[in-house]
């Protein structure tokens, strides 16, 4: 599945930087342009078709909502603003989500995951960079994933793979129906869990810790 191409329409440099940094952390997002005002973005949209727009509301020359109303066939739109009073109008215009500044990466990721196509969500494998080559890893073979600072270790029943990627990045690529975060450093395959107790669970003959913040998630398995 190709990347989701997105643009940012935002006049605050710091807000642009935050969004660009967040986008860079999500493997399926590709930033193709940033614009300080909606008029410049309008010109860009005449010749390009992004899949997603991150749109501020208070923009010079043409306000965000007014700009949105000018688009005959708008792509997916995520509104980013410090003003909550425009939320109703935004959803009336069918925006995908409404992010109130300042927003954390987890909230950003929740928003962008809403626009991933059913085909992409249903994919049963992923390719990861392992020792200078792309390796196909089937979701059905994964037992758990462990964070190791700047790297992650993906453990299967027969092997393990180490790749340079953050835990949040790999979590964004995994189907939520198949995997669950149980610790700041561990993600497990739900159908591979053999047993669990208060502070750990067993999977593939290994003991995986359960963090306090994730205890309720594990309890819901029963």
Integer angstrom CA distances of residue 10 from 57, 86, 167: 8, 16, 28
Residue spans of the domains in the chain: they are 4-119, 124-219
Q: What is the pLDDT of residue 87?
A: 60
- State the Cα–Cα distance between residues 122 and 181, nearest whole angstrom: 19
- Cβ contacts of residue 80 below 8 Å, gap of 6+? 10, 15, 19, 54, 55, 56, 99, 101, 103
How many residues are there in the chain? 222
Determine the number of helices (DSSP H) and then strands (DSSP E) in the chain: 8, 15
Q: Supply the CATH classification number for the domain 4-119.
A: 3.40.50.2300
DSSP 190: G
Q: What is the CATH number of domain 124-219?
A: 2.40.50.1020
**What pLDDT sits at residue 173?**
82
User: What is the C-alpha R_g of the chain?
Assistant: 20
> What was the pLDDT predicted at 203?
94
pLDDT tens, 80-132? 988 777 666 666 778 889 899 999 999 999 899 888 765 455 678 888 889 88
Q: What angle do CA 109, 6, 136 make, to 5 degrees?
A: 65
Q: Who contacts 194 (Cβ-Cβ below 8 Å, separation ≥6)?
A: 201, 202, 203, 204, 205
Question: Could you report the average pLDDT of every consecutive run of 10 residues in the chain (222 residues)?
Answer: 83 95 91 94 90 92 88 88 71 82 92 73 80 90 93 93 89 85 93 89 92 83 69
- The pLDDT score that the predictor gives to residue 102 is 92
pLDDT value for 193: 93
């Amino acid at each position: 599945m190709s990347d989701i191409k997105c643009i940012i329409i935002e006049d605050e440099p710091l807000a642009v930087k935050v969004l660009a940094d967040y986008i860079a952390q999500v493997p399926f997002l590709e930033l193709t342009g940033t614009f300080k005002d909606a008029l410049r973005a309008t010109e860009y949209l005449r010749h390009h078709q992004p899949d997603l727009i991150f749109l501020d509301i208070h923009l010079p020359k043409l306000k965000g909502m007014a700009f949105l109303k000018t688009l005959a066939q708008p792509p997916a739109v995520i509104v980013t603003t410090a003003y909550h009073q425009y939320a109703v109008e935004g959803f009336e215009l069918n925006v995908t989500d409404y992010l109130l500044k300042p927003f954390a990466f987890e909230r950003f990721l929740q928003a962008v995951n809403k626009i991933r196509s059913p085909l992409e969500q249903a994919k049963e494998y992923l390719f990861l960079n392992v020792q200078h080559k792309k390796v196909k890893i089937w979701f059905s073979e994964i037992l758990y994933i462990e964070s190791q600072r700047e790297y992650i270790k993906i453990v299967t029943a027969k092997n393990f793979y180490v790749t340079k990627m953050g835990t949040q990045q790999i979590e964004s690529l995994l189907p939520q129906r198949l995997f669950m975060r149980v610790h700041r450093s561990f993600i497990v395959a739900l159908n591979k869990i053999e047993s669990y107790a208060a502070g750990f669970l067993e999977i593939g003959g290994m003991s995986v810790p359960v963090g306090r913040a994730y205890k309720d998630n594990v309890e819901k398995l029963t």
